Amino acid sequence: MLVLGIESSCDETGVAIYDDERGLLAHAIHTQIPIHAQYGGVVPELAGRDHIKRVVPLIRKVMQDAQLQLTDLNAVAYTAGPGLIGALLVGAMEARALAFALNIPAIPVHHMEGHLLAPMLESNPPSFPFVALLVSGGHTMLIKVAAPGSYEILGESVDDAAGEAFDKTAKLLGLPYPGGPKLEALANEPHADSSAYHFPRPMIDRPNLDFSFAGLKTAVLNAVHKSTDLEADKASIARCFEDAVADTLYHKCQKALDKTKMNTLVVAGGVSANSAIREALTTLMAQRKGQVFFARKEFCTDNGAMIALAGMLRFKAGERGSLEVNVFPRWPLSSLKPL
């Protein structure tokens, strides 16, 4: 069976084709970074307009790359939320139109479920059950995953998500949008001193598994204001900030694994591409003699492959969307039904 996946929740247009026997056949992504960079962040109206321009050409490209016709498809999956409402509507309307024209089902997919399942696209996928850490621009969550669709939220961000803290810290340091990758590059500069600052590891001593990065961002702000030579100090501030985030995630994941008595960790979302975070969590699981699974870096950010995979699982489980075009800018992951 073949499922076409369409992702348009924010500032990347992603399209992919997934086969339940052969796996991922083709995928393509268009990023809007050049558009939003001049404004220092995502402009929702511009995001929606660009999705309109890109989605059909990307569908044509992946169909050509996979050497398939639209009539070969068995279902169309699309991101129904959470995300920017205008951007979501573009993908939803395209998916519904295709499904109606081809007389096949359209499958609404939760964006965060797509990220959570992205490591399943690899040749050595994790086995259920496991603990999942989702780290992105809008979410930082620890989830007990018993099976596809069976998600228990163990902890989540109460203010800034990890990705948001990366972006805001990068902006404080004068780095251009998108800030996360540029902050990582700055933190890896040879003159970056990991002992120059000691930023807080928020909430690691609390018994719960929630996250808070607003105080860490404030600590960076204070360091920037106190610096007498910010250009010379930038790399060290970036390094110490990155270490604080990685250390916080390390301790919270450790607690989640202890609480659930599990020893398999899945890490996904845009921030999971960060090398310091990957190294910290790889070290954690090596110490525990457990396993850690990451999505490949190209599938950490928003993409159609993860939506096609999640859509395939829900399609095979018998889920079908209605003919109505509904999107959900706010959509709790815990509200999904187990497959």
- Binding positions for Fe cation are 111, 115, 302
* Binding site per annotation, positions: 111, 115, 134-138, 167, 180, 184, 274, 302
Residues annotated within the binding site for substrate are: 134-138, 167, 180, 184, 274
Contacts (Cβ under 8 Å, ≥6 apart) of 52: 90
3-state SS class at 295: coil
* Rounded Cα gap, residues 335 and 283, in angstroms: 33
CA–CA distance, 302 with 36 (Å, rounded to integer):
16
Among positive and negative, which fits the CA dihedral 296, 281, 255, 160?
negative
Q: Is 139 helix (H, G, I), strand (E, B) or coil?
A: coil
In SS3 terms, 173-211 reads as CCCCCCHHHHHHHHHCCCCCCCCCCCCCCCCCCCCCCCE
In Å, how far are 8, 12, 199, 270, 283 from 158, measured between CA atoms?
Answer: 26, 26, 19, 19, 26
CA atoms of 324 and 237, how far apart (whole Å): 49
Q: By the 8 A CB rule, do 33 and 47 touch?
A: no
Distance, CA of 326 to CA of 38 (rounded, Å): 31
